[in-house]
Amino acid sequence: VRGVAKHDEL
Partner 1 sequence: MNIFRFAGDMTHLCSIVVLLLKIEATKSCAGVSLRTQELYAVVFVSRYLDLFFTFISVYNTVMKVFFITSSFCIIWYMRHHRIVSQTYDREQDTFRVAFLVVPCIFLALLVNHEFSMVEVLWTFSIYLESVAILPQLILLQRTFNVDTLTSNYVFLLGAYRALYILNWLYRYFTEPGYSQWIVWSSGTLQTAIYCDFFYYYVVSWRKNERLSLPS
Footprint of partner 1 on this chain (CB under 8 A)?
A: 1, 3-5, 7-10
User: Given phi > 0 = left and psi -120 to 50 = alpha, else beta, which region is 2?
Assistant: beta
State the Cα–Cα distance between residues 2 and 10, nearest whole angstrom. Answer: 21
Minimum distance, C-beta of residue 5 to partner 1, in the bound complex (Å): 5
Minimum distance, C-beta of residue 9 to partner 1, in the bound complex (Å): 7
Minimum distance, C-beta of residue 2 to partner 1, in the bound complex (Å): 8
